[in-house]
Structure 1
């Protein structure tokens, strides 16, 4: 059986344990005029040491080139995004958001907001509030007392749907509830907002997407809007909105979480990126793996664009912040139309300046620090997203999609694939003369420094787990060395060989749908050894933030 979602400490024990740092009491009057005491939650030991791991960043951009209708549309899209935020709270945490935040000590409220509950997302989902035990692997998508055996025995065609909750009926039996029914009130309002935004859109393709997405909120059929989203090319404004990623479901990886990004296109940067998608087919053919693992041909018409993000909500805003997007996830849409890759340039710049450069100054040998560049960081991030389109989406042995076959490990392995194949793509394109900025050493060294940045996200993050696997694999292959000062130097030749070997291993595991093999890989390499942990602790001791917290909203943007 899964652990209970939370275990409340008896009130008198909470009062006894109360301290100035960990808890406070407030007195309120009830209707009878008698005083009643309400005790705030108590923090776990040393919890407050984690509260400064995020650094604030104001999420804004120049909107002066937008029309009045476009600015009003942005306002409506932000309102719809806030609804996604509310729904993600309900998916991630089973209790009332406002009651939870009100019961936190003042020092913990911002941290509770960032984590969407009492679990520290960048510390393996460890609870930072004493009254809560471990976070359920299935978040709030499944009953807390449901076992995997019970789920497997549950006879339902929709139990693995991306858009259903698993609940118990009046008789205690498992049943499915479509998102459109479970969240009907909120999704109806969000649907109305998207339709109002569509009426203001100057791009008819964007208006069509918004209306189809509005329909999907009410009928759970998201594929038509995904297809329409792929056809947009002339829109200055974009929004990624709805139940999209399945990272929050760490029990099976079946259920999608609500999120939103409101975006403004950077046309100048987008023009620089436009040429790279055409190389996907030839790069697919050259992958360092047997032919049967690269038989699927990715679309060559996928878009690469750069944006400034102006609002994050829900899953995208929880814990570590995404700096690039590769969607849709629907394998049918991917094979028919490819994917769109959106680079969030302002968020990327924030992480480079505030996090990656300070990490490099601490952990990279002095003679290789000049190889840490924003252009390389941008390219590594961009080609990570492009590389999601490489490889294989369906197993070669009848086990269905890779995502279904690898279950809860699918996301971590897919992120690992995208990281390593992104570097493979850069290597190939650089040597073809298609990438003309910097040196190959810039991309490899910046890639290595980025592992230290992402591995700090912890084992609860698919990206963090993927980076742990890659770090340990590279270490075993001698791709880098560590000197007596705890500084790392990249060995270009060995790193390139390790890149090819790991690419082959991941693509083979995916194509075979080898759940047991992936489990072994995650268990053996998805860990932080003592030496690496000591190096990561040095980053914390230096006050280098782990991630960013956005100061965002209409007021920041000057919108009504």
Structure 2
């Protein structure tokens, strides 16, 4: 069964799909008589279609051993790592609850080993990189509210309620004994596991020798049991000389597809590459000048981006929770708070070893199959690294507040905000690369960056319509195609027209910034329905990639043993 792309699934559609699959392949559900070498009949059972689907999709994840050079870390820093991993595993447990519910009850109910492993990768019975398609019998469409809201709650009911924390980042919505909606803070709802995680961070802080890291861990320990994350976010931004880092807590809001309000738990454990990080420092100071040159009307670029932001490179040694589900994150831009972004800037963290794994195992094989041979040599890791890096930097460009008093872009666009913000970062990242090459601040030629960006789109559109980054890349692909920025050759390869690629980059930048500045949610919804979709010709190419065994993403073998620690 080829990879399905089902962008707007209803529960009825999914159930009908499952019924059709089962009826088509019904014979595969029954024992089949066959003769062995002795002429005797044997009974063989073929997997049901959902199990076939899970096995095929599981094969699209390339296993990667997540290691890094730890020689620059002190002995005490190495002793901290097992404690941080244990705390990260608690974030993993909490994310399971937010994404699905009881992890053990689901996994123990699945008898097919491939389906069980695929459920583990997706933190539930829905395929995150294929529009949340269910792959376990008995499950319909995933609730847009995931585990943050009651399954029977409507948006209208919440809006009409007297709940004070309707759209809080750190609370769940539940019903009391009378059926009335109430908000429960995370630190109360997940009290016991958060206490354990907090204690582990305290133990790690006691081992920390670098003052900035010690302060951050102490404050983050407190934040987990109070939901007051601002002091620890500030301490994290102030921390500059650490070799070891950990990002931990409820951070991103993508899992809440109802409002994009509530944050999901996750953790990264990182080893800083101080040499690479030093090279990247200069680019942040250029943000104000680059903001002024954005290809959009003046009122949409009046905000002045902060220059206190940091650009660092890391090797990641552990993923847990949201960042480990489905497609693996290869760069991080935090904190998300608009207030802190204005006062402290952000830290853009490039996860170098994970990025290289995706380039080698996914992007390069895709390019060899789909990029025109005359341009294949322009697909380079350095260009991929820069495109991803400036995607994160570009979150700091553009506009954070609407121009007509609708509040922040995030509050005005609600559930439509995340995917359009990712699209903005994609396209403004490419704009930054273009300008920096012209200024001589990045090595050229620009053709390397454009062709690698094109190959990157073909990699990321495979993430599906159920994921913000996938939607963003679908928009870019369809917009660029309509503008003639690339053509499909007679032999089925994609060939970039460099001049039209630049024009399309500017045009899409203008469109996105205008929509954000206007806070025009209906227009963004229309754009998503019309252009954030995979059309048949592209889907046929994506199916070929799967049939050839080119991975969609990676999965990690990770932990203390993999790192060679006790």
TM-score range, shorter chain: over 0.9
- CA distance 1:558–1:459, shift in 2 (3 Å): same
d(CA) in 1 for partners of 2:348, 2:292? 21
**Cross-structure match for 1:407:** 414
- The answer to whether the aligner puts 1:519 opposite 2:525 as a matched pair is yes
Match of 2:231 among 211, 224, 229: 224
d(CA) in 1 for partners of 2:511, 2:185? 37
* 1:527-546 alignment runs, 5 A limit: 527-546=533-552
**Cross-structure match for 1:116:** 123
Match of 1:91 among 92, 98, 108: 98
**Cross-structure match for 1:307:** 314
d(CA) in 1 for partners of 2:512, 2:485? 18
Q: Alpha-carbon deviations, 1:350-404, whole Å to 9, x = none? A: 0000000000001100000000000000000000000000011111222121111
d(CA) in 1 for partners of 2:168, 2:108? 31
Gap runs ≥5 in structure 1? 9-15, 25-39
d(CA) in 1 for partners of 2:378, 2:164? 52
**Cross-structure match for 1:449:** 455
d(CA) in 1 for partners of 2:129, 2:434? 31
Preserved CA contact (<8 Å) 1:22 1:43: no
Gap runs ≥5 in structure 2? 1-8, 16-22, 32-46
- CA distance 1:242–1:21, shift in 2 (3 Å): farther
- CA distance 1:185–1:288, shift in 2 (3 Å): same
- The answer to whether the aligner puts 1:126 opposite 2:126 as a matched pair is no
Q: Alpha-carbon deviations, 1:40-97, whole Å to 9, x = none? A: 9993663322120100000001112222110111111111100000000000002343
Shift of the alpha carbon at 1:538?
1.2
d(CA) in 1 for partners of 2:431, 2:167? 34
d(CA) in 2 for partners of 1:21, 1:236? 55
Q: Secondary structure at the match of 1:274?
A: helix
Preserved CA contact (<8 Å) 2:164 2:183: no
Q: Secondary structure at the match of 2:526?
A: helix
d(CA) in 2 for partners of 1:107, 1:423? 39
- CA distance 1:427–1:530, shift in 2 (3 Å): same
**Cross-structure match for 1:487:** 493
Preserved CA contact (<8 Å) 1:262 1:311: yes
Q: Alpha-carbon deviations, 1:89-131, whole Å to 9, x = none? A: 0000023435434534112221111000100111110000111
- The answer to whether the aligner puts 1:211 opposite 2:218 as a matched pair is yes
**Cross-structure match for 1:550:** 556
Please, what TM-score do these two structures have when normalized by structure 2?
A: 0.91
d(CA) in 2 for partners of 1:4, 1:152? 24
Please, what TM-score do these two structures have when normalized by structure 1?
A: 0.92
Match of 2:206 among 199, 202, 209: 199
Match of 2:515 among 509, 515, 520: 509
Preserved CA contact (<8 Å) 2:97 2:147: yes
- The answer to whether the aligner puts 1:164 opposite 2:182 as a matched pair is no
- Structure 1 runs (4+) deviating above 4 angstroms are 2-5, 16-24
- The answer to whether the aligner puts 1:337 opposite 2:344 as a matched pair is yes
Preserved CA contact (<8 Å) 1:41 1:129: no
d(CA) in 1 for partners of 2:488, 2:11? 43
Preserved CA contact (<8 Å) 1:23 1:41: no
d(CA) in 2 for partners of 1:151, 1:21? 45
- The answer to whether the aligner puts 1:418 opposite 2:425 as a matched pair is yes
- Computed over aligned residues only, the root mean square deviation of the Cα atoms, in angstroms, reads 2.4
Which piece of structure 1 moves more, 152-161 or 383-392? 152-161
d(CA) in 2 for partners of 1:186, 1:334? 30
d(CA) in 1 for partners of 2:112, 2:199? 37
- CA distance 1:552–1:96, shift in 2 (3 Å): closer
d(CA) in 1 for partners of 2:310, 2:216? 16
- CA distance 1:208–1:466, shift in 2 (3 Å): same
Preserved CA contact (<8 Å) 1:53 1:545: yes
Q: Secondary structure at the match of 1:275?
A: helix
Match of 1:100 among 100, 107, 119: 107
Shift of the alpha carbon at 1:22?
7.4
**Cross-structure match for 1:36:** none
d(CA) in 2 for partners of 1:224, 1:539? 46
**Cross-structure match for 1:473:** 479
- The answer to whether the aligner puts 1:175 opposite 2:182 as a matched pair is yes
d(CA) in 2 for partners of 1:468, 1:455? 6
Q: Alpha-carbon deviations, 1:151-174, whole Å to 9, x = none? A: 111222211110010111101111
d(CA) in 2 for partners of 1:23, 1:151? 47
Preserved CA contact (<8 Å) 2:54 2:114: no
- The answer to whether the aligner puts 1:460 opposite 2:466 as a matched pair is yes
Shift of the alpha carbon at 1:301?
2.1
Preserved CA contact (<8 Å) 1:52 1:545: yes
d(CA) in 2 for partners of 1:86, 1:41? 30
Aligned pairs, how many? 537
Shift of the alpha carbon at 1:211?
1.3
**Cross-structure match for 2:20:** none
- CA distance 1:555–1:420, shift in 2 (3 Å): same
Q: Secondary structure at the match of 1:456?
A: helix
Q: Alpha-carbon deviations, 1:453-509, whole Å to 9, x = none? A: 000000011000000011000011110000111101001111101101110110111
